[in-house]
Amino acid sequence: MGMTIAYACICHVGRVRKVNQDNYMCERMYRHNDRDTKVYPLTGEDTAKQCNVFGVFDGLGGEQRGEVSSFIAASRAAHTEWKGNLKNALYNFCIEANEDICRFAQEENLRSTGTTAAMLAFRGDNVYVCNLGDSRIFRITAEKIEQISKDHVAPCAHGRKPPLSQCLGIPKEEFVIEPYITKLRCKAGERFLICSDGVTDMLSEQEIHSLAVEKSVKKASRKILRQALANGGRDNTTLILLEVRRTRNRFLFF
């Protein structure tokens, strides 16, 4: 018996913003800011024998060139060799992507720039969770939805969206980034959603759950996007919906 991961990935500018500052990494694919010709949702299915890594990166809208920061993170994730201890690999990715973004900011004389990161790495029966910022990751079954990422936000006045306390793009002399990383067991039939706040600011967890359990991840991902846009689409909307499937080995007898 083995595991396969079915996925559907969507990246949409939304109804209000003119620039899409979101990016993703899905099957080594990511969005090129100047020439995105992909047709969404991107769909496929992969075995989990080696390692399958998926991520969503939300460039910070209040910062300078957030779309470049998210691109830097997504492209580095796509070109990373995910081997060995995955907790260490995810941590090292965050450190190196952070350095890349800080170097870009220095070269461009930017006051600040950054991006969130929310990632899942599947290997065998295990899934590794890694995140910085407020892009969220959910585990979904027919019965419930559960957030398995950790929001990194600072206290703020009631009614206002809290600022991030962690992200990629923080100079090491100012602050030490501390990604949330954990390892979980995954089961056949479970679904996982990685998404930017263009989803979670527009939909409640109950709405997400009711849409995410659609028969196929492709149909479900489309429904989540449509509802987020119908509810206002005030931000860029990026999501990767994944389903863990059990596969049986086939043997030939002679």
DSSP 119-149: EEEEETTEEEEEEESS-EEEEE-SS-EEE-S
- Residue burial 53-85, b: 16+ Cβ < 10 Å; e: rest: bbbbbbbbeebbbbbbbbbbbbbbbbebebeee
pLDDT of residue 60: 93
pLDDT at 1 over 60: no
Q: Is 162 strand, coil or helix?
A: coil
The domain 2-247 is placed in CATH, from the list 3.40.920.10, 3.60.40.10, 1.10.3720.10, 3.40.50.2300, at 3.60.40.10
Is residue 217 very low, low, confident or very high in pLDDT (cuts 50, 70, 90)?
very high
pLDDT of residue 251: 42
Residues whose CB falls within 8 Å of the CB of residue 115, separated by 6 or more in sequence, listed in order: 21, 23, 57, 58, 59, 60, 66, 69, 70, 72, 73, 101, 133, 167, 168, 169
The tens digit of pLDDT for each residue in 126-149 reads 999 999 999 999 999 999 999 999
pLDDT of residue 155: 82
Is residue 253 very low, low, confident or very high in pLDDT (cuts 50, 70, 90)?
very low
On average, the pLDDT of the chain sits at 92
Q: Is 180 strand, coil or helix?
A: strand
pTM: 0.94
- Which of 46-55, 112-121, 152-161 shows the lowest per-residue confidence on average (mean pLDDT)? 152-161
CA 201, 243, 214, 8 dihedral sign is positive
